[in-house]
Chains A and B, each alone.
Chain A
């Protein structure tokens, strides 16, 4: 099963997910470096992402949008903070306007990913940090709530798929 561990720190508004993939580091890294691959897994269920602009280099700004089940569009953006290819990267993720400018009212969520080779594959640790409980709630409401509600019913299928594909 790819997901090895999930840790939640309620006090620090932090979620750590550790996963292992049966592929070399470079291929797993490409899932984030290549916008055409990134958009196939970044969006929440029921709201696929389209990356208008993306380059995983420090200082770059990515722009993407998610298309919800009713066709409504929600824009997001990344500010790439740190890149040590193919070992780690850190980005700030925010909701955005249609030009990819971050919306100040919802703030930024920081996401860090560390990639390490392990026997037969790659272990990735994702750490997501929110600024506050309020922000976490807003993020969930604005971009993810609908998709996630849909996903609740599909989660067993997803987990079964995960198990079968290893």
Chain B
């Protein structure tokens, strides 16, 4: 199952074909606090896996495991720099993760604006409740 997503960001419309399994991977990847923290760090700047590991009280293999979950979800990418693996963020995919709930937020903002307009339109009315 796949969906045609019209993603609107930075006044740019991007068509993305995203399979359901990919969406689930994104949400699973973001469901862990350490992985969200890793993502935040690499959004700030690209860095090596060993530099990332230095920031946590866990083993290098444990950090590598988190990094690979994020990589499978497409939220980050890795490039080789000599003997080191560098981790960088994939901002387009990160935006997609927020997109579902962001759209729902837009719907609610619309509803609330409509409720507010209704209340302003008919100020004399008192409910029979």
Contacts and interface: CB of A to CB of B under 8 A. Distances in A.
B107 A144 contact: yes
B119 A140 contact: no
B129 A2 contact: no
A140 B104 contact: yes
Interface in B1-56: 3, 6, 8, 20, 23-24, 27, 30-31
Interface residues of B, number: 38
Contact of A137 (B23, B110, B126): B23
Range, interface on chain A: 35 or more
Nearest to B114: A41
Say whether chain A's binding surface is mostly helix, strand, loop, or mixed: helix
Contact of A10 (B97, B107, B115, B125): B97
A128 B104 contact: yes
Contact of B118 (A6, A40, A126, A151): A40
Given A10-B27, A149-B6, 6 more contacts: A2-B115, A6-B108, A19-B115, A23-B123, A133-B27, A148-B107
Interface of B: 3, 6, 8, 20, 23-24, 27, 30-31, 97-98, 100-120, 123, 125-129
Interface of A: 2-3, 6, 8, 10-11, 15, 17, 19, 21-23, 26-31, 33-34, 37, 40-42, 44-45, 85-86, 126, 128, 133-134, 136-137, 140-141, 144-145, 147-149, 151-152, 155, 158-159, 161-162, 165-166
